[in-house]
Structure formats: structure tokens, C-alpha cells
Structure 1
Amino acid sequence: METVLSIKGLTKNFGRLCAVNQMNLEVKQGQVFGMLGPNGSGKTTTLGMLMGVVNPTAGEFSWFGEAPTSGIRKKIGAVLEHPIFYPYLSGQKNLELNAMIKECPASNIANVLDLVELTARRDDKYKTYSLGMKQRLAIASALLNEPTVLILDEPTNGLDPMGIAEIRELIKKIAANGKTIILASHLLDEVQKVCTHFAVLKKGNLVHTGPVDDVGKGAETVEVQADVPNLSDMLLDFSGTASVNRENGYFQVTLRDDFHSKDLNRFLFDKGVVANHLVTKKKSLEKMFLEILSEAH
């Protein structure tokens, strides 16, 4: 798989503050890559350097194996900070102006409006758009020149649950068309639902990177409840049990490697116990994220 972005030793200092410290990272073609981190972790500064609006203090990065040039940057669409549109112009007219600035065909406008589901509101003034519609128009603008890569900085920031869901589905749709997407977010649920890979930043340091699919791997935890008085003792008797805890009215059974919930269920059934509640609990990205941050010093 082709490397779209390669970062080596990328560093940015603002006076004595090190906003990004010696970052090494690769993003492959077709990935939806999420940069996770609390506010002030260096996400926006990193994206700013990648887009050429912030000058690095040290290190280097390349797009498609080449140094960043104006020609290379035309392959990249970005929505950084709050997009600027003319409030008294329609969505259509705003995109026509952006197409002129980007020197791309006006015929692309209909396609991007359709993609972001704003065709029906194309002739309405920008000032009448909801926050979610404004964000979708910004993404449409970023896609005007048919870029290979799309960069989004906090794409759902300030949106209501409906707006968040709409942007999430839009990101999935764009990714399904083969584009590589890099997004920065502090919303863990958003990253887990749309990204294929993620990195965690803490105070400018890259402390973890890997596939989203790896989240939840490891020891399996099973939530169990049954109408028997000695359930706790029975669960401890199971050879696959590593530990048993009581939480929220259920027993939380952490299993040893190579043991699964079906093995525990069979063990209970053989003992004449039918569980009325038996649910496998996957480790959430939130739990993994907090563990990564607490381990990073």
C-alpha cells in the first residue's frame, strides 16, 4: 500500500513551548487516520505544518514521497479552523468563487453539492445554513479540486448529535470513494466509528499509533448474572477465570487468554445454571485512550 504521508522528526516550538516534539508517523493510501488527543496536545499545529500554514522548527515530511510543493498541495483538500464564506451569497455562489480561486472546473460544483447533500439548498444564502450545513459546505469546498487526500480539523466541533451523525456518514461516504482522510478530534466515539487507524498525542508527543481494529483486543471480559446464590464461587471455579468483580449489579469476569464467553456459558450450563445475562464486553477506545495517556509520561 502506497505511503501518502511520511513524517520524520517533525517538531514545532513556540518560544519555550514545544507544541510538537520529534513526531514520526506514516499514513497509507485509503486509510481514515484519526489524530486523537486532549486540547493542547498538538493536533492542530501538526495539521497546520502539513498544510504549510505553520513552519516547522525541525524535522521533515513528504506527501506521496515528494517534498511539499504547491503542485503537491493541490492533491490535498483541507478544512482547518472555521471556514470563511460570504454570508449573503448562496452556497452555489460561494463554491463558484472558491472554484475560481482554486482554478478548478465549475462543473465540479454539482458533484460536491450532491455528495454533501446540499443540492436542495444550493441557492439559499449561506447565513441561513445550520452549523452542520456550513460544515458540509466547507467539506464540499475542500473537495472541489478532486483531491487525493482530505484533512479535517475537529470536523464535528460544536455540532448537535444530528449534525455529528451527518458528518460521520459523510466521512464514511468520502472514504468509500477511495480518498485518504486525516482528521483531528478529541471525540473518541467519532474516531472509533469512522477511522481505520489512529494516533494519540499528549503534550506534543506521539504516544501511540495503530489500527482501530486493535482496540478491544486482549483479555475478554464477560458480564454475567444468574439466579443462583453462589454464582461468584462458581465463576471462580471456572478454569478460564482470571478475576471476578461486582459492578453495576453484574459479575464482571475477566477471562484468561484463549478462553471466551461461550466457554464460560458452557461451564455454567454443565453446572445446571442458565445465565439470564451474559454479555461480552469489548474494551472501548475511551478506556484504551485513558490507559495510553496514563502510561505516557
Structure 2
Amino acid sequence: MENVLSIRALTKTFGKLRAVNSLNLEVKAGQVFGMLGPNGSGKTTTLGMLMGVVNPTEGAFSWFGEPPSHDVRKKIGAVLEHPIFYPYLSGQKNLELNAMVKQCPTENIARVLDIVELTERRNDRYKTYSLGMKQRLAIASALLNDPTVLILDEPTNGLDPMGIADIRRLIKKIAESGKTIILASHLLDEVQKVCTHFAVLKRGNLVHVGPVDDVGNGAEVVEVKASIANLNEILMTFPGTSTINHENGSCHVTLRTGFHSVDVNRFLFENGIVASHLQTQKRSLEKMFIEILSESH
């Protein structure tokens, strides 16, 4: 896949504060790329530089293999902060103004309203919209010029559970249409549910980058319960056992490479033991995130 975005040694300092430190990153066409990190990690500053809102101190980046320019930025739609719309105008009228500013055909408005599922509310005043609807209208505005790339900064921030679910579904729908999406978030669940790839930033430094599908990889951990007193001793004799931890009356067995829960179950059965509970524990993004940040000290 071709690179949509290439970042080389991108750095931004504010006085003595190094908000982004020599960042190197690539985003390929069709990815939903999440920039994950706690508040103050440099996510928003990075997006600001990519959109020309913030000037880099050092380093460079390119979009579609070209240096940033007005023509290149026409291919990019962005929702960086809370958008500014006129509260007494309808969603339709607000988009008409945005289309005029962006020099986009007004014929695009009906299409983007349909994408964000606001067609039925297009003639209602913006001030009557819920926070989730306002965010969807902002995304509609960013899609007016049919961009190749969509950038979203904390797209579900402040939304209720229904609003969050709507935005997540919308992001997936837009990605399925072939667009590349870059989003910044501090919400682990959001990144795991909508992104294909992610990077972790900590105090301006890139500490991890890779596919979201890798989150569940690594050593397999199996939770085992059985009605015998010496379960721990028996499990320690299993050739696939690496370590055993005890939590809530269960044995959590970390397996060696190549061993799986079915092997544990077979071993117990061969030793005359029937497990009352045997379940593989998947590593969550939250656990991986904590591990990554801990390792980067």
C-alpha cells in the first residue's frame, strides 16, 4: 500500500517544553490510524502541524509523497477542535456556508448529510442539535470536498454512550468507503474498536506503533479452576507452563510458545482431572497500553 503520510523527525517545542520529539511515522492508504496517548502526549500538537495550524520546530512531513501545500490540503478533511457553526442557522445553511468557503459544489451537501444520517434534521437550527449531532455535522463539513484523508481529534470527547456508538459506526462506514482516517484519542476502547493500526505517544515520544490485531498476541494465559487441592503443583508439571499466578481462587497459567488452552485441558484429563473452569484470557489494549508505557520509562 502507498504511503498517504510520511513523518520524519518532526519536532515541536514551546519554550523549554518539547511537545513532540523527533517523531517518525507512516500511515498507509486505507488505514484507520489511531494516535493514542494520555493528555499532554503530543497528539493534538502533531495533528496541528500536519494541518498547517502549528509550525514545526524541526523535521518534515509529506502527504501523498508531496510537501504540504494548499492543493495537497484540499485532499484532507479535518475536525481538529469543536467546530464553529451559526446556532440560529439550520444544518443545511451552515453547510452551504462551509461549501462556499471551501469552494465545494453545494450538490455535495445532500450526500454528506446522508452519510452522517442528518438528512431528516437538515432544516432544524444548529442550536437544537445534540452534542453527537453537532459532531456529525462537523464530520459532514469535513467531507464536503470529498477528501482522501479524514483527520479527527478526540471525535467522541464529551459524548454520551449513544453518541459515542453513533460516531464509531460512522467512522467505520467512512473507512469502508475507501478513505484513510487518522484519529487522536486517549480512549483505549475507541482505538481498539475502530482502528486498524495505532501509535502510542508519551510526552511527545513515539513508544509503540503497529496493527491493532497484534494486541491479542503474545503469551497465552489460561484461567483454570478444578476441585482439587494440589492443582497448582500438577499444573507446574505441565511442559507448557511458563508461570502461574493466583487470582480469585483461579490459577492463571502463562503458557510457553506453541502451547494452547486445549493442551492444558488434555493434560488435566490425562491426569484424571476435570476442570470446572478453563478460559483463555485475551490481552486487552488497556493492558498492552499500560505495558508499553511502563516499558518506556
Counterpart residue type for residue 240 of structure 1: G
2:267 paired residue number: 267
Q: What is the aligned residue count? A: 297
Distance 2:159 2:276 in 1: 39
Q: For 1:93-242, list aligned pairs within 5 A.
A: 93-242=93-242
Distance 1:168 1:155 in 2: 9
Structure 1 regions of 5+ residues with no counterpart? none
1:199-237 CA-partner distances (Å, limit 9, x unpaired): 111111111111111112111001111223322222222
CA shift at 1:271, angstroms? 2.1
Counterpart residue type for residue 143 of structure 2: L
Distance 1:46 1:62 in 2: 13
Counterpart residue type for residue 103 of structure 1: Q
1:256 paired residue number: 256
Which of structure 1's runs of 4+ aligned residues deviate more than 3 A?
none
Distance 1:270 1:94 in 2: 70
> Secondary structure at 2:216's aligned position in 1?
coil
> Secondary structure at 1:215's aligned position in 2?
helix
Counterpart residue type for residue 84 of structure 1: I
CA shift at 1:296, angstroms? 1.3
1:225-276 CA-partner distances (Å, limit 9, x unpaired): 1223322222222111111111133211110110001111111122232222
C-alpha change, 1:85 and 1:222, in structure 2 (3 Å) is: same
Q: For 1:24-63, list aligned pairs within 5 A.
A: 24-63=24-63
2:90 paired residue number: 90
Distance 1:96 1:274 in 2: 68
Counterpart residue type for residue 235 of structure 1: L
Q: Normalised by the size of structure 1, how large is the TM-score? A: 0.98
Counterpart residue type for residue 115 of structure 2: L
Distance 1:121 1:272 in 2: 65
Identity of aligned residues (%): 78
Distance 1:132 1:42 in 2: 25
> Secondary structure at 1:233's aligned position in 2?
helix
Distance 1:231 1:16 in 2: 57
Q: Over aligned residues, Cα RMSD in angstroms?
A: 1.0
CA shift at 1:104, angstroms? 0.8
- Corresponding position: 1:14 with 2:14: yes
Q: Which moved more, 1:166-175 or 1:274-283?
A: 274-283
